[in-house]
């Protein structure tokens, strides 16, 4: 063994295999190391650490670290991808847990009341009644979608309403500010961390506009049920056998496109099913896949028509990231919950939170933190 070679405990390699997905190239290299065909050099370990996002120090431990991602218990679909979560997902969840922990402590110290609707939904109630309950909580009328002009406006309206009732809504398409670490919607589209004081929703912004709208409402219903969620399915992807997921999907669809309104609109003679789906997607300000599924569930189209419509809708998805490019501060402002940021600013000003902690929780520094606040206030 040369002085530059590193001995990694076999238990550590076993832990790596069970913890993350590994590329074919790295797997071939790892097999050689585990079979003692050769030992890795420090530089090779460093590269492997960067590729897998596993902290470098872990490879020098005698026993595997204790890392648990409890949120995996709440995944929508039991998939191979989430059996071995990426470090991107792991680090994003940990970051959001830190945000939630700070906000909870801030609210409790300030004497805030618990968020009343956390756990207020009975999943045994009818989908229609729960959708009405959710709209009332958010201050939305039944035809709220008629008052917004675009998908962007729809998402903004819903996000502001959800934040205003006490939910932290965060969004990003990358890990922190690292533009080389994109969040993969094949792994997850959104997640929810339940808390009585600071419930949190995280949206993967690499999803389509319509996908983000559905995910946001879907996760909000999860808060009503008080059931944490790792949403790793597409809209209405099958098989979803968890009754809570089926319920949350149904309530979300009813909020987006109420059945009685949908039925009336579908009867208007505006062409074939495909054309109607496109027109109603524009009317309800949602994805065509949601409309196709509503048409199927309400028995306006049959199995084969739905399969065709769903395929066309998925083909039309423009899944491109909103994380990079454009104005830096505008991008940062879109990622962070404004209520959370202003609470953090007040705490710093009052001397209860260190500047360094504020910068860590917002991925900023002294200069960018103040500029971000100015962006939110419209002062830039």
Predicted confidence (pLDDT) per residue in 9-65, tens digit: 888 888 787 666 677 778 888 888 888 778 888 888 888 888 777 888 888 888 887
DSSP category for residue 270: -
Q: Which two tokens stand for residue 81?
A: 């991808």
| Whole-structure pTM value | 0.83
Question: Taking 50 as the threshold, does the pLDDT of residue 359 lie above it?
Answer: yes
258 contacts: CB under 8 Å, gap ≥ 6: 131, 142, 143
219 contacts 191 by C-beta, under 8 angstroms? yes
Question: Taking 50 as the threshold, does the pLDDT of residue 82 lie above it?
Answer: no
Question: Taking 90 as the threshold, does the pLDDT of residue 335 lie above it?
Answer: yes
Average pLDDT over residues 115-143: 96
Q: Which long-range contacts link 131-136 to residues 24+ away (Cβ below 8 Å)?
A: 131/251, 131/254, 131/255, 131/258, 133/224, 134/217, 134/220, 134/221, 134/224, 134/251, 134/255, 135/255
% residues pLDDT > 70 (the chain): 88
Tokens 């983000």 sit at which residue?
Answer: 212
Question: Taking 60 as the threshold, does the pLDDT of residue 235 lie above it?
Answer: no
> What is the structure's pLDDT at 80?
42
pLDDT by residue (tens digit) across 286-334? 999 999 999 999 999 998 988 888 888 777 654 444 444 567 888 888 9
Residue 35 forms beta bridges with which residues? none
More confident residue, 66 or 149: 149
Is the sign of the CA dihedral 359, 363, 369, 372 positive or negative?
A: negative
CB-based burial, 290-304: b 16+ in 10 Å, e otherwise: bbbbbbbbeebbeee
> What is the structure's pLDDT at 19?
67
Spatial separation of the C-alpha atoms in residues 335 and 329, rounded to whole Å: 10
pLDDT by residue (tens digit) across 113-127? 999 999 999 999 999
At 177, is the pLDDT very low, low, confident or very high (cuts 50, 70, 90)?
Answer: confident
> What is the structure's pLDDT at 234?
62
> What is the structure's pLDDT at 290?
92
> What is the structure's pLDDT at 324?
46
> What is the structure's pLDDT at 239?
52
Q: Where are the domains of the chain?
A: 10-67, 73-315, 328-377
At 90, is the pLDDT very low, low, confident or very high (cuts 50, 70, 90)?
Answer: confident
> What is the structure's pLDDT at 240?
54
167 contacts 283 by C-beta, under 8 angstroms? no
């Amino acid at each position: 063994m040369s002085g530059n070679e590193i001995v990694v405990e076999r238990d550590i390699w076993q832990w790596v295999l069970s913890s993350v997905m590994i590329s074919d190239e790295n797997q071939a290299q790892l097999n050689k190391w585990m079979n003692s065909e050769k030992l890795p050099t420090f530089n090779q370990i460093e590269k492997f650490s960067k590729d897998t996002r596993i902290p470098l120090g872990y490879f020098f431990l005698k026993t595997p670290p204790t890392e648990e991602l409890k949120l995996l218990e709440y995944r929508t679909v039991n998939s191979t991808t989430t059996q071995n979560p990426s470090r991107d997902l792991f680090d994003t969840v940990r970051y959001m847990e830190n945000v939630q922990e700070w906000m909870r402590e801030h609210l409790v110290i300030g004497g805030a009341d618990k968020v009343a609707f956390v756990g207020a939904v009975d999943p045994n109630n009818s989908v229609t009644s729960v959708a009405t309950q959710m709209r009332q909580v958010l201050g939305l009328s039944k035809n709220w979608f008629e008052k917004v002009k675009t998908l962007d406006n729809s998402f903004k309206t819903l996000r502001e309403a959800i934040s205003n009732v006490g939910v932290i809504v965060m969004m990003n398409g990358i890990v922190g500010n690292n533009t080389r670490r994109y969040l993969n919607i094949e792994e997850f589209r959104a997640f929810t961390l339940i808390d009585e004081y600071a419930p949190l929703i995280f949206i993967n912004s690499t999803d389509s506009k319509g996908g983000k709208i559905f995910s946001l409402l879907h996760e909000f219903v999860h808060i009503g049920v008080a059931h944490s969620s790792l949403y790793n399915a597409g809209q209405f992807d099958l098989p979803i056998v968890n009754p809570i997921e089926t319920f949350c999907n149904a309530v979300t669809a009813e909020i987006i496109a109420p059945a009685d309104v949908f039925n009336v609109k579908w009867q208007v003679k505006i062409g074939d099913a495909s054309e109607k789906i496109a027109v109603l997607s524009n009317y309800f300000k949602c994805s065509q896949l949601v409309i196709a599924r509503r048409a199927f569930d309400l028995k306006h189209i049959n199995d084969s028509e739905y399969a065709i419509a769903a395929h066309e809708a998925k083909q039309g998805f423009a899944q491109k990231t909103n994380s990079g490019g454009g104005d830096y501060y505008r991008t940062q402002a879109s990622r962070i919950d404004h209520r959370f940021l202003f609470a953090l600013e007040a705490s710093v000003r009052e001397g209860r939170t260190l500047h360094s902690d504020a910068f860590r929780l917002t991925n900023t520094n002294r200069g960018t933190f103040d500029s971000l606040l100015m962006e939110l206030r419209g002062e830039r």
